[in-house]
Chains A and B, each alone.
Chain A
Amino acid sequence: MKKLVELKSVYAGYNDEVILTDVSLDIYDNDFIGIIGPNGGGKTTLLKVILGLIKPYKGTVKFYTNDTHKRNKIGYLPQFNKIDQKFPIKVIDIVLSGLIFGNKLFFKYSKSDYTKACDTLKRIGISNLKDYPVGALSGGQLQKVLLARALISSPRLLILDEPNTYVDNQFEGELYKILEELNNEMAIIIVSHDIGTIASYIKTIACVNRSLHYHKSNKITEAQLASYNCPIKLITHGEVPHTVLSKHNH
Protein backbone atom coordinates (compact mmCIF):
# COMPACT_ATOMS: atom_id res chain seq x y z
CA MET A 1 0.00 0.00 0.00
CA LYS A 2 1.35 3.33 -1.05
CA LYS A 3 0.07 6.59 0.25
CA LEU A 4 -1.32 8.85 -2.49
CA VAL A 5 -2.79 11.83 -0.74
CA GLU A 6 -2.55 13.16 2.77
CA LEU A 7 -4.91 15.75 4.24
CA LYS A 8 -3.72 17.16 7.56
CA SER A 9 -6.08 19.12 9.82
CA VAL A 10 -7.71 20.91 6.89
CA TYR A 11 -10.12 23.80 7.40
CA ALA A 12 -11.92 24.84 4.24
CA GLY A 13 -15.05 26.53 2.89
CA TYR A 14 -16.29 29.38 0.71
CA ASN A 15 -16.51 33.14 1.15
CA ASP A 16 -14.81 33.02 4.56
CA GLU A 17 -17.38 30.56 5.86
CA VAL A 18 -15.69 27.49 7.29
CA ILE A 19 -17.49 24.31 6.26
CA LEU A 20 -14.89 21.65 6.95
CA THR A 21 -13.18 21.74 10.31
CA ASP A 22 -10.05 19.85 11.21
CA VAL A 23 -10.29 17.15 8.52
CA SER A 24 -7.47 14.65 8.24
CA LEU A 25 -7.47 11.79 5.76
CA ASP A 26 -4.90 9.49 4.20
CA ILE A 27 -5.72 7.98 0.83
CA TYR A 28 -3.83 4.87 -0.31
CA ASP A 29 -3.39 3.49 -3.80
CA ASN A 30 -6.00 0.75 -3.62
CA ASP A 31 -8.58 2.52 -1.48
CA PHE A 32 -12.25 2.56 -2.38
CA ILE A 33 -13.80 5.16 -0.14
CA GLY A 34 -17.48 6.01 0.00
CA ILE A 35 -18.17 9.53 1.23
CA ILE A 36 -21.54 9.99 2.86
CA GLY A 37 -23.15 12.76 4.85
CA PRO A 38 -26.06 15.16 4.91
CA ASN A 39 -26.51 17.87 2.28
CA GLY A 40 -24.49 20.94 3.11
CA GLY A 41 -22.22 18.86 5.33
CA GLY A 42 -19.20 19.47 3.14
CA LYS A 43 -18.92 16.39 0.89
CA THR A 44 -18.38 18.43 -2.26
CA THR A 45 -16.12 20.86 -0.38
CA LEU A 46 -13.91 17.95 0.61
CA LEU A 47 -13.70 16.80 -3.01
CA LYS A 48 -12.84 20.31 -4.13
CA VAL A 49 -10.02 20.50 -1.60
CA ILE A 50 -8.57 17.22 -2.85
CA LEU A 51 -9.00 18.35 -6.47
CA GLY A 52 -7.22 21.61 -5.74
CA LEU A 53 -10.25 23.69 -6.76
CA ILE A 54 -10.29 25.47 -3.40
CA LYS A 55 -7.39 26.18 -1.13
CA PRO A 56 -7.80 25.26 2.53
CA TYR A 57 -7.80 28.11 5.04
CA LYS A 58 -5.62 26.01 7.30
CA GLY A 59 -3.90 22.66 7.08
CA THR A 60 -2.15 20.90 4.21
CA VAL A 61 -2.98 18.69 1.24
CA LYS A 62 -0.03 16.64 0.06
CA PHE A 63 0.31 14.38 -2.96
CA TYR A 64 2.71 11.47 -3.05
CA THR A 65 3.07 10.77 -6.73
CA ASN A 66 6.74 10.28 -7.40
CA ASP A 67 6.29 7.72 -10.14
CA THR A 68 8.27 8.03 -13.33
CA HIS A 69 5.68 7.20 -15.96
CA LYS A 70 3.32 9.93 -16.97
CA ARG A 71 0.02 9.48 -15.23
CA ASN A 72 -2.48 12.06 -14.22
CA LYS A 73 -2.91 12.45 -10.51
CA ILE A 74 -6.69 12.71 -10.37
CA GLY A 75 -9.56 11.83 -12.66
CA TYR A 76 -12.75 13.70 -11.84
CA LEU A 77 -16.36 12.95 -12.62
CA PRO A 78 -18.45 15.99 -11.63
CA GLN A 79 -22.14 15.95 -10.79
CA PHE A 80 -23.71 15.82 -14.19
CA ASN A 81 -26.42 18.39 -13.54
CA LYS A 82 -23.59 20.94 -13.46
CA ILE A 83 -22.89 20.25 -17.13
CA ASP A 84 -24.69 22.08 -19.92
CA GLN A 85 -26.46 19.36 -21.84
CA LYS A 86 -27.08 21.55 -24.87
CA PHE A 87 -23.44 22.42 -25.45
CA PRO A 88 -22.54 21.54 -29.06
CA ILE A 89 -19.79 18.98 -28.58
CA LYS A 90 -19.32 15.37 -29.66
CA VAL A 91 -18.71 12.47 -27.29
CA ILE A 92 -15.25 11.74 -28.67
CA ASP A 93 -14.21 15.38 -28.14
CA ILE A 94 -15.33 15.28 -24.51
CA VAL A 95 -13.27 12.16 -23.90
CA LEU A 96 -10.25 13.66 -25.66
CA SER A 97 -10.45 16.74 -23.43
CA GLY A 98 -9.34 14.48 -20.58
CA LEU A 99 -5.91 14.47 -22.21
CA ILE A 100 -5.37 18.23 -22.08
CA PHE A 101 -3.18 19.32 -19.21
CA GLY A 102 -1.22 22.18 -17.89
CA ASN A 103 -0.81 25.84 -18.44
CA LYS A 104 -0.88 25.62 -22.22
CA LEU A 105 -3.08 27.35 -24.76
CA PHE A 106 -2.09 25.45 -27.85
CA PHE A 107 -3.04 21.83 -28.04
CA LYS A 108 -3.17 19.27 -30.82
CA TYR A 109 -4.17 15.61 -30.66
CA SER A 110 -2.00 12.87 -32.01
CA LYS A 111 -3.30 9.75 -33.67
CA SER A 112 -2.51 7.74 -30.56
CA ASP A 113 -4.60 10.16 -28.47
CA TYR A 114 -7.55 9.41 -30.71
CA THR A 115 -6.99 5.66 -30.48
CA LYS A 116 -6.75 6.00 -26.70
CA ALA A 117 -10.09 7.81 -26.61
CA CYS A 118 -11.72 5.07 -28.70
CA ASP A 119 -10.23 2.39 -26.44
CA THR A 120 -11.51 4.15 -23.34
CA LEU A 121 -15.02 4.36 -24.80
CA LYS A 122 -14.81 0.66 -25.67
CA ARG A 123 -13.76 -0.23 -22.17
CA ILE A 124 -16.81 1.47 -20.73
CA GLY A 125 -18.97 -0.13 -23.38
CA ILE A 126 -20.09 2.92 -25.30
CA SER A 127 -18.06 2.78 -28.53
CA ASN A 128 -21.29 3.18 -30.45
CA LEU A 129 -21.77 6.69 -29.02
CA LYS A 130 -18.44 8.00 -30.32
CA ASP A 131 -19.83 10.56 -32.75
CA TYR A 132 -23.03 11.42 -30.90
CA PRO A 133 -23.64 15.04 -29.96
CA VAL A 134 -23.84 15.32 -26.18
CA GLY A 135 -27.42 16.62 -26.39
CA ALA A 136 -28.61 13.24 -27.72
CA LEU A 137 -27.41 11.27 -24.70
CA SER A 138 -29.43 9.97 -21.78
CA GLY A 139 -28.33 10.73 -18.23
CA GLY A 140 -26.65 7.37 -17.79
CA GLN A 141 -24.88 7.63 -21.14
CA LEU A 142 -23.55 11.08 -20.29
CA GLN A 143 -22.25 9.78 -16.95
CA LYS A 144 -20.36 7.07 -18.82
CA VAL A 145 -18.90 9.62 -21.22
CA LEU A 146 -17.76 11.73 -18.26
CA LEU A 147 -16.28 8.61 -16.68
CA ALA A 148 -14.36 7.95 -19.91
CA ARG A 149 -13.06 11.53 -19.80
CA ALA A 150 -11.87 11.00 -16.24
CA LEU A 151 -10.22 7.66 -17.09
CA ILE A 152 -8.43 8.45 -20.34
CA SER A 153 -5.45 9.92 -18.49
CA SER A 154 -5.11 6.78 -16.31
CA PRO A 155 -5.36 8.66 -13.03
CA ARG A 156 -3.98 7.39 -9.72
CA LEU A 157 -7.12 8.54 -7.96
CA LEU A 158 -10.63 8.60 -9.40
CA ILE A 159 -13.11 10.97 -7.78
CA LEU A 160 -16.83 10.60 -8.51
CA ASP A 161 -19.38 13.11 -7.26
CA GLU A 162 -22.78 11.44 -6.97
CA PRO A 163 -22.54 9.35 -10.14
CA ASN A 164 -25.73 7.50 -9.24
CA THR A 165 -28.18 10.39 -9.22
CA TYR A 166 -30.67 10.60 -12.09
CA VAL A 167 -29.68 7.23 -13.52
CA ASP A 168 -31.52 3.94 -13.63
CA ASN A 169 -30.69 0.83 -11.64
CA GLN A 170 -29.29 -0.97 -14.64
CA PHE A 171 -26.74 1.78 -15.18
CA GLU A 172 -25.85 1.77 -11.51
CA GLY A 173 -25.10 -1.93 -11.61
CA GLU A 174 -22.93 -1.50 -14.71
CA LEU A 175 -21.13 1.46 -13.20
CA TYR A 176 -20.21 -0.39 -10.01
CA LYS A 177 -18.93 -3.34 -11.99
CA ILE A 178 -16.64 -1.02 -13.95
CA LEU A 179 -15.49 0.69 -10.77
CA GLU A 180 -14.71 -2.61 -9.06
CA GLU A 181 -12.47 -3.50 -11.99
CA LEU A 182 -10.84 -0.06 -12.04
CA ASN A 183 -10.07 -0.30 -8.35
CA ASN A 184 -7.28 -2.74 -9.24
CA GLU A 185 -5.49 0.11 -10.98
CA MET A 186 -6.45 3.17 -8.98
CA ALA A 187 -7.86 4.48 -5.75
CA ILE A 188 -11.50 5.54 -5.94
CA ILE A 189 -13.47 8.05 -3.93
CA ILE A 190 -17.21 8.11 -4.49
CA VAL A 191 -19.70 10.54 -3.01
CA SER A 192 -23.14 9.08 -2.68
CA HIS A 193 -26.42 10.02 -1.13
CA ASP A 194 -27.38 6.38 -1.14
CA ILE A 195 -24.97 4.40 0.94
CA GLY A 196 -27.03 1.22 0.74
CA THR A 197 -26.27 0.46 -2.88
CA ILE A 198 -22.60 1.35 -2.81
CA ALA A 199 -21.84 -0.43 0.47
CA SER A 200 -20.82 -3.76 -1.03
CA TYR A 201 -18.34 -2.19 -3.43
CA ILE A 202 -16.59 0.29 -1.23
CA LYS A 203 -13.96 -0.73 1.28
CA THR A 204 -14.23 2.11 3.76
CA ILE A 205 -16.71 4.84 4.63
CA ALA A 206 -15.99 8.48 5.36
CA CYS A 207 -18.80 10.34 7.11
CA VAL A 208 -18.58 14.04 6.40
CA ASN A 209 -20.64 16.47 8.40
CA ARG A 210 -18.50 19.54 8.94
CA SER A 211 -15.91 17.20 10.40
CA LEU A 212 -14.82 13.80 9.09
CA HIS A 213 -15.12 10.40 10.71
CA TYR A 214 -13.30 7.63 8.95
CA HIS A 215 -14.86 4.20 9.29
CA LYS A 216 -12.43 1.52 8.16
CA SER A 217 -15.04 -0.99 7.03
CA ASN A 218 -17.93 -1.06 4.59
CA LYS A 219 -20.35 -2.20 7.26
CA ILE A 220 -21.89 0.49 9.37
CA THR A 221 -24.89 0.71 11.67
CA GLU A 222 -27.26 3.58 12.26
CA ALA A 223 -26.01 3.77 15.81
CA GLN A 224 -22.46 4.24 14.56
CA LEU A 225 -23.60 6.86 12.11
CA ALA A 226 -25.30 8.69 14.93
CA SER A 227 -22.15 8.60 17.01
CA TYR A 228 -20.29 10.09 14.02
CA ASN A 229 -22.77 12.94 14.03
CA CYS A 230 -23.82 11.83 10.56
CA PRO A 231 -27.59 11.50 10.50
CA ILE A 232 -28.20 9.45 7.36
CA LYS A 233 -30.95 6.95 6.74
CA LEU A 234 -29.75 3.57 5.60
CA ILE A 235 -32.08 2.87 2.71
CA THR A 236 -31.78 1.11 -0.60
CA HIS A 237 -33.77 1.93 -3.67
CA GLY A 238 -35.48 -0.42 -6.07
CA GLU A 239 -34.22 -3.88 -6.73
CA VAL A 240 -30.51 -3.39 -6.41
CA PRO A 241 -29.72 -6.19 -3.98
CA HIS A 242 -26.45 -5.01 -2.56
CA THR A 243 -27.35 -4.07 0.98
CA VAL A 244 -24.85 -5.49 3.38
CA LEU A 245 -25.56 -3.13 6.21
CA SER A 246 -25.86 -4.48 9.68
CA LYS A 247 -29.16 -4.19 11.40
CA HIS A 248 -29.61 -2.45 14.72
CA ASN A 249 -28.52 -4.55 17.62
CA HIS A 250 -31.59 -3.88 19.71
Chain B
Amino acid sequence: MLAELFEYKFIVNSLLAGILASISCGIIGTYIVTRRMVFLSGGITHASFGGIGIGYYFGFNPVIAAAIFAVFSALGIEFLSKKTDVREDSVIGILWSLGMAIGIIFVFITPGYAPNLMTYLFGSILTVSTLDIILMAIVSVVIILIFIFFYHTILFVAYDQEFAQTHKLPVNFINNLLISLVALTIVLNIKVVGIILVISLLTIPQSIANLFTNEFKNIIIISIVIGLIGALMGLLISYQINIPSGASIIFSLVIFFILAKMFQIIKHKILLKINA
Protein backbone atom coordinates (compact mmCIF):
# COMPACT_ATOMS: atom_id res chain seq x y z
CA MET B 1 0.00 0.00 0.00
CA LEU B 2 2.78 2.42 0.98
CA ALA B 3 4.71 1.92 -2.26
CA GLU B 4 1.69 2.88 -4.27
CA LEU B 5 1.20 5.96 -2.11
CA PHE B 6 4.61 7.34 -3.05
CA GLU B 7 3.69 7.33 -6.71
CA TYR B 8 1.44 10.30 -6.12
CA LYS B 9 3.22 13.63 -6.20
CA PHE B 10 0.87 15.17 -3.69
CA ILE B 11 1.69 12.46 -1.17
CA VAL B 12 5.43 13.11 -1.57
CA ASN B 13 4.81 16.84 -1.25
CA SER B 14 2.75 16.45 1.87
CA LEU B 15 5.39 14.21 3.45
CA LEU B 16 8.05 16.81 2.66
CA ALA B 17 5.78 19.50 4.10
CA GLY B 18 5.38 17.46 7.27
CA ILE B 19 9.15 17.09 7.67
CA LEU B 20 9.85 20.77 7.00
CA ALA B 21 7.01 21.85 9.28
CA SER B 22 8.37 19.83 12.18
CA ILE B 23 11.83 21.33 11.72
CA SER B 24 10.79 24.99 11.52
CA CYS B 25 8.06 24.66 14.15
CA GLY B 26 10.33 22.61 16.42
CA ILE B 27 12.97 25.34 16.54
CA ILE B 28 10.81 28.47 16.40
CA GLY B 29 8.18 26.95 18.70
CA THR B 30 10.81 26.39 21.38
CA TYR B 31 11.71 30.07 21.16
CA ILE B 32 8.04 31.07 21.34
CA VAL B 33 7.23 28.85 24.31
CA THR B 34 10.29 29.73 26.36
CA ARG B 35 9.88 33.47 25.69
CA ARG B 36 6.17 33.15 26.54
CA MET B 37 5.17 34.58 23.18
CA VAL B 38 2.29 32.21 22.45
CA PHE B 39 -0.35 34.95 22.45
CA LEU B 40 1.84 37.18 20.28
CA SER B 41 2.24 34.31 17.83
CA GLY B 42 -1.52 33.78 17.77
CA GLY B 43 -1.87 37.46 16.90
CA ILE B 44 0.64 37.23 14.04
CA THR B 45 -1.07 34.10 12.72
CA HIS B 46 -4.47 35.72 12.48
CA ALA B 47 -3.14 39.06 11.27
CA SER B 48 -1.57 37.25 8.33
CA PHE B 49 -5.06 36.50 7.01
CA GLY B 50 -5.09 40.15 5.90
CA GLY B 51 -2.20 39.33 3.59
CA ILE B 52 -4.01 36.30 2.21
CA GLY B 53 -7.06 38.44 1.39
CA ILE B 54 -4.96 41.11 -0.30
CA GLY B 55 -3.13 38.43 -2.28
CA TYR B 56 -6.43 37.02 -3.48
CA TYR B 57 -7.79 40.38 -4.55
CA PHE B 58 -4.73 41.52 -6.45
CA GLY B 59 -4.10 38.09 -7.89
CA PHE B 60 -0.68 37.25 -6.53
CA ASN B 61 0.48 34.36 -4.37
CA PRO B 62 -1.45 34.60 -1.08
CA VAL B 63 1.33 32.87 0.87
CA ILE B 64 3.92 35.45 -0.15
CA ALA B 65 1.46 38.29 0.52
CA ALA B 66 0.69 36.79 3.93
CA ALA B 67 4.41 36.44 4.69
CA ILE B 68 5.05 40.12 4.01
CA PHE B 69 1.96 41.10 5.98
CA ALA B 70 2.91 38.88 8.94
CA VAL B 71 6.48 40.14 9.17
CA PHE B 72 5.27 43.74 9.20
CA SER B 73 2.61 43.03 11.83
CA ALA B 74 5.20 41.26 13.98
CA LEU B 75 7.65 44.14 13.75
CA GLY B 76 4.74 46.53 14.28
CA ILE B 77 3.75 44.81 17.52
CA GLU B 78 7.38 44.90 18.72
CA PHE B 79 7.69 48.57 17.86
CA LEU B 80 4.32 49.74 19.20
CA SER B 81 4.61 47.92 22.51
CA LYS B 82 8.13 49.19 23.09
CA LYS B 83 7.92 52.77 21.89
CA THR B 84 4.42 53.68 23.01
CA ASP B 85 2.77 53.09 26.33
CA VAL B 86 -0.02 50.91 24.90
CA ARG B 87 0.00 47.49 26.56
CA GLU B 88 1.59 44.78 24.45
CA ASP B 89 -1.33 42.36 24.72
CA SER B 90 -3.76 45.09 23.67
CA VAL B 91 -1.63 45.87 20.61
CA ILE B 92 -1.68 42.16 19.76
CA GLY B 93 -5.47 42.03 20.16
CA ILE B 94 -5.93 45.02 17.84
CA LEU B 95 -3.63 43.71 15.09
CA TRP B 96 -5.09 40.20 15.46
CA SER B 97 -8.59 41.40 14.58
CA LEU B 98 -7.49 44.13 12.15
CA GLY B 99 -5.69 41.54 10.01
CA MET B 100 -8.72 39.25 10.02
CA ALA B 101 -10.99 42.18 9.11
CA ILE B 102 -8.78 43.21 6.19
CA GLY B 103 -8.72 39.62 5.00
CA ILE B 104 -12.51 39.26 5.15
CA ILE B 105 -13.05 42.54 3.28
CA PHE B 106 -10.67 41.68 0.45
CA VAL B 107 -11.96 38.14 0.08
CA PHE B 108 -15.51 39.54 -0.01
CA ILE B 109 -14.80 42.13 -2.74
CA THR B 110 -12.81 39.65 -4.83
CA PRO B 111 -15.03 38.76 -7.79
CA GLY B 112 -16.12 35.13 -7.95
CA TYR B 113 -15.86 32.38 -5.40
CA ALA B 114 -12.67 31.82 -3.40
CA PRO B 115 -12.52 28.05 -3.39
CA ASN B 116 -9.22 27.67 -1.53
CA LEU B 117 -10.13 29.91 1.36
CA MET B 118 -10.94 27.01 3.64
CA THR B 119 -7.46 25.66 2.92
CA TYR B 120 -5.96 28.66 4.68
CA LEU B 121 -8.31 28.55 7.64
CA PHE B 122 -8.14 24.82 8.31
CA GLY B 123 -5.07 23.78 6.34
CA SER B 124 -4.66 21.06 3.79
CA ILE B 125 -1.30 19.40 3.70
CA LEU B 126 -2.41 17.44 0.62
CA THR B 127 -2.68 20.59 -1.52
CA VAL B 128 0.80 21.93 -0.65
CA SER B 129 2.44 23.04 -3.89
CA THR B 130 6.04 22.65 -4.98
CA LEU B 131 6.51 26.41 -4.54
CA ASP B 132 5.27 26.07 -0.94
CA ILE B 133 7.78 23.28 -0.36
CA ILE B 134 10.63 25.36 -1.77
CA LEU B 135 9.69 28.34 0.43
CA MET B 136 9.39 26.12 3.48
CA ALA B 137 12.76 24.54 2.75
CA ILE B 138 14.46 27.93 2.39
CA VAL B 139 13.02 29.22 5.66
CA SER B 140 13.92 25.98 7.47
CA VAL B 141 17.52 26.14 6.28
CA VAL B 142 17.78 29.81 7.28
CA ILE B 143 16.39 29.04 10.73
CA ILE B 144 18.73 26.09 11.23
CA LEU B 145 21.78 28.14 10.23
CA ILE B 146 20.81 31.09 12.41
CA PHE B 147 20.22 28.87 15.43
CA ILE B 148 23.48 26.98 14.91
CA PHE B 149 25.66 30.04 14.49
CA PHE B 150 23.94 32.49 16.85
CA TYR B 151 22.78 29.92 19.41
CA HIS B 152 24.43 31.38 22.51
CA THR B 153 23.52 34.95 21.68
CA ILE B 154 19.89 34.02 21.00
CA LEU B 155 19.69 31.97 24.20
CA PHE B 156 21.07 34.72 26.42
CA VAL B 157 19.03 37.52 24.94
CA ALA B 158 15.98 35.29 25.40
CA TYR B 159 16.91 34.44 28.98
CA ASP B 160 17.70 37.92 30.27
CA GLN B 161 17.41 40.86 27.88
CA GLU B 162 18.45 43.49 30.38
CA PHE B 163 21.64 41.66 31.27
CA ALA B 164 22.38 41.16 27.58
CA GLN B 165 21.90 44.89 27.10
CA THR B 166 24.40 45.74 29.83
CA HIS B 167 26.86 43.56 27.93
CA LYS B 168 26.14 45.54 24.75
CA LEU B 169 24.77 42.55 22.85
CA PRO B 170 22.71 43.36 19.73
CA VAL B 171 19.46 42.81 21.63
CA ASN B 172 17.16 44.74 19.29
CA PHE B 173 18.59 43.10 16.22
CA ILE B 174 18.15 39.62 17.70
CA ASN B 175 14.59 40.39 18.79
CA ASN B 176 13.60 41.74 15.39
CA LEU B 177 15.31 38.91 13.52
CA LEU B 178 13.61 36.27 15.65
CA ILE B 179 10.16 37.86 15.52
CA SER B 180 10.48 37.96 11.72
CA LEU B 181 11.41 34.29 11.67
CA VAL B 182 8.42 33.56 13.90
CA ALA B 183 6.16 35.35 11.39
CA LEU B 184 7.65 33.51 8.40
CA THR B 185 7.41 30.14 10.12
CA ILE B 186 3.79 30.72 10.99
CA VAL B 187 2.78 31.80 7.50
CA LEU B 188 4.57 28.98 5.71
CA ASN B 189 3.01 26.41 7.99
CA ILE B 190 -0.50 27.78 7.56
CA LYS B 191 -0.90 25.56 4.48
CA VAL B 192 -0.12 22.51 6.61
CA VAL B 193 -2.62 22.88 9.44
CA GLY B 194 -4.37 26.20 8.84
CA ILE B 195 -4.52 29.57 10.58
CA ILE B 196 -6.70 28.27 13.36
CA LEU B 197 -4.50 25.30 14.20
CA VAL B 198 -0.95 26.42 13.44
CA ILE B 199 -0.27 27.59 17.00
CA SER B 200 -0.54 23.99 18.17
CA LEU B 201 2.42 22.90 16.01
CA LEU B 202 4.43 25.58 17.81
CA THR B 203 3.40 24.64 21.33
CA ILE B 204 2.33 20.99 21.75
CA PRO B 205 5.64 19.32 20.75
CA GLN B 206 7.51 21.75 23.01
CA SER B 207 5.20 21.08 25.93
CA ILE B 208 5.79 17.34 25.50
CA ALA B 209 9.55 17.81 25.18
CA ASN B 210 9.61 20.03 28.26
CA LEU B 211 8.25 17.12 30.30
CA PHE B 212 11.46 15.20 29.67
CA THR B 213 14.18 17.83 29.42
CA ASN B 214 15.04 21.24 30.78
CA GLU B 215 17.52 22.32 28.21
CA PHE B 216 16.74 24.64 25.31
CA LYS B 217 18.72 22.62 22.77
CA ASN B 218 17.12 19.33 23.78
CA ILE B 219 13.62 20.81 23.67
CA ILE B 220 14.29 21.78 20.05
CA ILE B 221 15.52 18.32 19.06
CA ILE B 222 12.76 16.39 20.85
CA SER B 223 10.11 18.78 19.48
CA ILE B 224 11.27 18.17 15.94
CA VAL B 225 11.05 14.40 16.40
CA ILE B 226 7.64 14.58 18.08
CA GLY B 227 6.35 17.00 15.44
CA LEU B 228 7.51 14.64 12.72
CA ILE B 229 5.83 11.58 14.26
CA GLY B 230 2.66 13.63 14.83
CA ALA B 231 2.61 14.85 11.22
CA LEU B 232 3.14 11.37 9.79
CA MET B 233 0.58 9.79 12.06
CA GLY B 234 -1.93 12.55 11.34
CA LEU B 235 -1.43 12.09 7.62
CA LEU B 236 -1.95 8.35 7.89
CA ILE B 237 -5.11 8.75 9.96
CA SER B 238 -6.37 11.42 7.58
CA TYR B 239 -5.79 9.07 4.62
CA GLN B 240 -7.30 6.02 6.32
CA ILE B 241 -10.51 7.45 7.70
CA ASN B 242 -10.79 10.42 5.36
CA ILE B 243 -10.81 13.37 7.76
CA PRO B 244 -9.04 16.77 7.33
CA SER B 245 -5.27 16.34 7.75
CA GLY B 246 -4.70 19.46 9.87
CA ALA B 247 -7.14 18.34 12.53
CA SER B 248 -5.83 14.77 12.59
CA ILE B 249 -2.22 16.01 13.04
CA ILE B 250 -3.22 18.16 16.01
CA PHE B 251 -5.27 15.30 17.42
CA SER B 252 -2.28 12.94 17.23
CA LEU B 253 -0.09 15.49 18.98
CA VAL B 254 -2.58 16.00 21.79
CA ILE B 255 -2.81 12.24 22.30
CA PHE B 256 1.00 12.11 22.52
CA PHE B 257 0.85 14.85 25.11
CA ILE B 258 -1.68 12.98 27.23
CA LEU B 259 0.34 9.74 26.95
CA ALA B 260 3.56 11.55 27.86
CA LYS B 261 1.95 13.21 30.85
CA MET B 262 0.49 9.88 32.02
CA PHE B 263 3.88 8.19 31.57
CA GLN B 264 5.46 10.89 33.69
CA ILE B 265 2.89 10.58 36.47
CA ILE B 266 3.22 6.78 36.57
CA LYS B 267 7.02 7.01 36.55
CA HIS B 268 6.82 9.45 39.44
CA LYS B 269 4.58 7.14 41.43
CA ILE B 270 6.85 4.14 40.85
CA LEU B 271 9.89 6.14 41.91
CA LEU B 272 8.09 7.23 45.07
CA LYS B 273 7.24 3.62 45.86
CA ILE B 274 10.82 2.47 45.34
CA ASN B 275 12.11 5.21 47.60
CA ALA B 276 9.48 4.51 50.26
User: Could you list which residues of chain A lie within 8 angstroms of chain B, going by C-beta atoms?
Assistant: 15, 51-53, 72, 74, 76, 78, 82-84, 87-90, 93-94, 96-98, 100-109, 133-136, 149
What residues of chain B lie closer than 8 Å to A15, measured between beta carbons?
Answer: 85
**B156 interface contact, C-beta 8 A:** yes
- Given A88-B34, A135-B214, are A105 and B166 neighbors across the interface (CB < 8 Å)? no
Question: Is B163 within 8 A of A93, CB to CB?
Answer: no
Question: Is B162 within 8 A of A97, CB to CB?
Answer: no
The complex places the Cα of A232 from the Cα of B214 at a distance, in Å, of 42
**B155 interface contact, C-beta 8 A:** yes
Contact flags B201-241 to A (C-beta < 8 A → 1, else 0) = 00000000010011110110000000000000000000000
Extra A-B contacts (7), CB below 8 Å, given A89-B155, A105-B153 = A52-B166, A87-B34, A90-B214, A97-B156, A97-B163, A100-B169, A136-B214
| 21 A/B residue pairs, CB under 8 Å, sorted by A | A52-B166, A76-B163, A76-B166, A83-B160, A87-B34, A88-B218, A88-B219, A89-B155, A90-B215, A100-B167, A100-B169, A101-B168, A101-B169, A102-B167, A103-B169, A104-B169, A105-B170, A107-B153, A133-B214, A134-B214, A149-B163
Question: Is B163 within 8 A of A88, CB to CB?
Answer: no
**B152 interface contact, C-beta 8 A:** yes
Q: In the complex, how many angstroms separate the beta carbon of B195 from the nearest chain A beta carbon?
A: 28
Chain B, residue nearest A89 (CB): B159
- The residue that B216 contacts in the complex, of A53, A89, A97, with Cβ under 8 A, is A89
User: Could you list which residues of chain B lie within 8 angstroms of chain A, going by C-beta atoms?
Assistant: 34, 36, 85, 149-150, 152-153, 155-156, 158-160, 162-170, 173-174, 210, 213-216, 218-219
What residues of chain A lie closer than 8 Å to B165, measured between beta carbons?
Answer: 52-53
Q: In the complex, how many angstroms separate the beta carbon of B269 from the nearest chain A beta carbon?
A: 20
Q: In the complex, how many angstroms separate the beta carbon of A130 from the nearest chain B beta carbon?
A: 13
Q: In the complex, how many angstroms separate the beta carbon of A84 from the nearest chain B beta carbon?
A: 7
